[in-house]
């Protein structure tokens, strides 16, 4: 999305075909870098069809034991939408059609695996346990997955409204929006280090400045 935004703002379309080195000394065009980034997520899926969290996603205290991340899934869908629009603009029709099909699969998996009656769950541990569900006593509602379900465009309107209503109902405080609630108090390595941190510290039901604007932007998108 950053490359897409840069090109759309500057009009420097030639940048897309500029050759840039990879970290391993290989090289490829910016366009090839974008394709590899998208393909990486598709090539590292868990058993539910969600991109693997690997060591962590944005929340490095919530690594799901190497499970599947809802946030990465929604970010992947968002990246796909940007790439498809770029490919269409460049008349690279074959790529645009291919990644439209990929995006459809990602959206279907998100809808099938991540929606839980009133909000989107935060992820699935490597052992297959879904976290951020209505049945959870701790870590019941999470900000990241719900805001990005809306921002990415993966959530349909009714679910998007319910998801942000849940953020408002459960995570809003006069001081900012909590990352999750209720706080974790029982250590669980399958979920991550977040469960070993005191409530209200680090990512365990604390308020972070970075993700609060995600909620504002999501609400604005629904307005």
C-alpha 212/C-alpha 100 separation (Å) is 30
User: What phi and psi, each to the nearest 5 degrees, are found at residue 119?
Assistant: -160, 175
Nearest to 48 by CA among 113, 122, 3, 99: 113
**DSSP, res 184:** P
Based on the residue annotation, tell me whether 60 is a catalytic residue of this protein.
Answer: yes
Asked if residue 140 lies in contact with residue 132, where contact means CB atoms within 8 angstroms, the answer is yes
Q: Which of 17, 26, 57, 60 is catalytic?
A: 60
Q: Which two tokens stand for residue 213?
A: 């604007």
Asked if residue 188 lies in contact with residue 68, where contact means CB atoms within 8 angstroms, the answer is no
Active site residues: 60
């Amino acid at each position: 999305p950053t490359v897409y935004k840069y090109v759309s703002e500057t009009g420097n379309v030639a940048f897309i075909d500029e050759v840039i080195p990879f970290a391993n000394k290989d090289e490829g065009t910016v366009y090839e870098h974008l394709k590899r980034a998208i393909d990486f997520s598709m090539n590292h899926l868990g058993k539910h069809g969600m991109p693997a969290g690997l060591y962590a996603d944005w929340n490095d205290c919530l690594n799901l034991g190497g499970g599947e991340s809802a946030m990465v899934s929604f970010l992947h869908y968002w990246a796909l939408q940007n790439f498809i629009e770029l490919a269409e603009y460049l008349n690279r029709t074959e790529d645009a059609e291919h990644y439209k099909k990929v995006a459809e699969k990602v959206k279907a998996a998100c809808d099938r695996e991540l929606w839980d009656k009133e909000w989107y769950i935060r992820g699935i541990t490597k052992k297959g346990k879904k976290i951020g569900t209505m049945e959870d006593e701790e870590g019941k509602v999470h900000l990241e997955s719900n805001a990005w379900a809306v921002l990415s465009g993966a959530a349909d309107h009714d679910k998007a409204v319910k998801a942000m209503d849940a953020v408002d109902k459960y995570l809003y405080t006069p001081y900012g929006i909590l990352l999750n609630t209720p706080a974790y108090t029982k250590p669980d390595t399958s979920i991550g280090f977040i469960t070993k941190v005191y409530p209200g510290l680090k990512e365990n039901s604390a308020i972070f400045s970075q993700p609060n604007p995600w909620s504002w932007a999501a609400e604005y998108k629904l307005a």
